[in-house]
Structure 1
Amino acid sequence: MLIMNEKIKAREVELTGLNGESLGIVTREEALALAKSHKADLVCTSLFSSPPPCKLVSRGQAKQVAAKEKKGHNETSGPIKVKEFRLSVHIEEHDYDTKLSQMHKLLAADKAVQPVIRIQGKEGEAARKLLERLVHDLAEVGKKETGIQVSGKLATVKLLPI
């Protein structure tokens, strides 16, 4: 959250000028008067010290910087959504092509995919070959995050967009 101008409630602030020069400890009113005379905003950089450090920033620039930081933070927060695709070892060619094109579209749109093959009995090697084929066919838009994992009743691999 950005605290600026009249919202700063401290009696005294440690002020930094427009060019980064230290102006020392001044009263809130003096700092606001300086900001007004320089056509700038008074922005509090930290609330955890006394007196709070504040700086003069060109009018409107502080909000733009805060909006950019918030936007950048929102994009990086949270894990990448992974779309799971269920296949079978005995998949027909047309169905394989359909799933392949769906995965291709998602990877091209910067989304991760995870093909999962349910296996029974001795189908493990066939499932591994099918996943290797999928990875090879999607190599231009995606790369393996994990190796091909065959365990128990499932064979899976996670693909991330390039």
Structure 2
Amino acid sequence: MASKLVMNEAIKAAEVWLTGLDGERIGVVSRQEALDLAKELKADLVCDSLMSSPPPCRLVSRGAAKREKDQAGKEARQQEGQVKVKEIRLTANIEEHDYDTKRRQAEKLLDSGHGVLLVVRIQGKEGQAAKAMLEGLATDLKASGTRKTGIQLSGKQAALELIPK
């Protein structure tokens, strides 16, 4: 989880350990002096850690700190594994060509990082045929994804969720 970004006037320490725009070490300066320098250089004063005394702060070009934080947050969310799940609907008595099309579609989604929910509509006594088809699809898609759930038969549909490898 990304930590809260402490910038400019939100920094309450009397003194800060300052690093310049190009990474050069300026040293320990008063908070006000650091803020004045940031204003003069049209930059933001960003605190990296509030745990040490004086806290290490750096000058960052205006707006870059927020973009950096947003990017870090985006990467953290991606690593958490929040996978968007897309649904693909099929029927139990599907033609071979249509089956191949749905398999390629699922493969493409899995390769692009999306989860896939395969849903087979069931009419009458097609339960076992639907289950067998989902088993076959899961086997065909083994290279791109792994099962998140088992095959779930419920009323008028059978479902199987796959997540990308």
TM-score by length of 2: 0.68
- 1:91 partner SS: coil
Given the alignment, which residue of 3, 27, 33 partners 2:7?
Answer: 3
Retained in 1: the 8 A contact 2:46–2:60?
no
> Partner of 1:15 in structure 2?
16
The 8 Å contact of residues 42 and 54 in structure 1, kept in 2 or not, is answered as no
Q: Is the 8 A contact 1:35 1:56 kept in 2?
A: no
Gaps of 5+ in 1: 48-52
Please identify, of 126-135 and 27-36, the stretch whose mean Cα deviation from structure 2 is larger: 27-36
Q: Distance in 2 between matches of 1:140 and 1:64?
A: 40
TM-score by structure 1 length?
0.69
> Displaced runs of 4+ in structure 1, greater than 6 A?
9-12, 33-36
Root-mean-square deviation (Å): 3.6
**Equivalent position of 1:114 in the other structure:** 117
Q: Which SS does the other structure have where 1:157 is aligned?
A: strand
Unaligned ranges ≥5, structure 2 = 20-26
- 2:97 alignment partner in structure 1: 94
The yes-or-no answer on 1:154 pairing with 2:153 is no
How much does 1:125 deviate? 1.2
1:1-162 alignment to 2 at 5 Å? 3-4=7-8, 8=9, 13-18=14-19, 28-32=31-35, 42-44=45-47, 55-57=56-58, 59-60=59-60, 66-75=66-75, 76=77, 79-162=82-165
The structure with more radius of gyration: 1
Q: Distance in 2 between matches of 1:121 and 1:86?
A: 17
Count of aligned residue pairs for this structure pair: 147
Structure 1 position 156, deviation (Å): 0.4
What is the alpha-carbon distance in structure 1 between the residues aligned to residue 140 and residue 12 of structure 2?
66
What secondary structure sits across from 2:163 in the alignment? strand
- Identical amino acids, percent of aligned pairs: 45
